[in-house]
Amino acid sequence: MKPENQERITRWYQEPYMLLVAGIPLIAVIWGFVMLKTALETKDSLVSDSYYKDGMSYTQDKESDEKAKRLQVTGTAVFSTDEVKITIDGYLDEYPSILKVSMIHPTLDTRDTDLVLQKMGDKTYAGVNDIELPSRWRIWVDSPEQGWRIRAYPMIEAGKEVQLTYK
């Protein structure tokens, strides 16, 4: 016969508090190994391989922006799935015959692309679109002939106008 005031004894692995005490650190260790594996197998694509060159070209970029500001060059870009159209305006004596459009991906430099737009009308330029839509890109529109640059960092959607300015 068992005494009535004696408590029932359970094994250590059957206690709920033991599972709580041992389970949380075990989950943390497993999650740590998952994160370590992810860190070792994933490429760090946010680091620029040409950081020195980027830093040295800052002055040249600043001069291009200043020239666009002096000439008050602005633009409107419209992207479709296969074409880019840009209309520019400003105090230009003569509009350039081509525009160089640098499409810079925010994180992956392998997705960066350059487009060349031909003059179609008085202030209108057109070219082939190589990027997937919708997505976010840095857009730099340069005039190699005249040395100015306008830019934007928009979410690009098909048929939606993007305003380009000197900054």
Q: Per-residue confidence at 100, pLDDT binned at 50, 70, 90?
A: very high
What dihedral do alpha carbons 56, 57, 63, 66 form, nearest 10°?
A: -110
Q: Is a pLDDT exceeding 70 seen at residue 69?
A: yes
More confident residue, 80 or 54: 80
Strand partners, 116: 100
Query: What average pLDDT does range 87-105 have in this prediction?
Result: 91
Among residues 163, 164, 160, the alpha carbon closest in space to that of 79 is found at: 160
Residue 143's pLDDT is what? 92
Q: Is the pLDDT assigned to residue 112 strictly greater than 80?
A: yes
Mean pLDDT of 132-145: 89
Residue 28 binned pLDDT confidence (cut-offs 50, 70, 90): very high
Least confident of 15-19, 123-127, 149-153: 15-19
**CATH 1.25.40.10 corresponds to the domain 61-164:** no
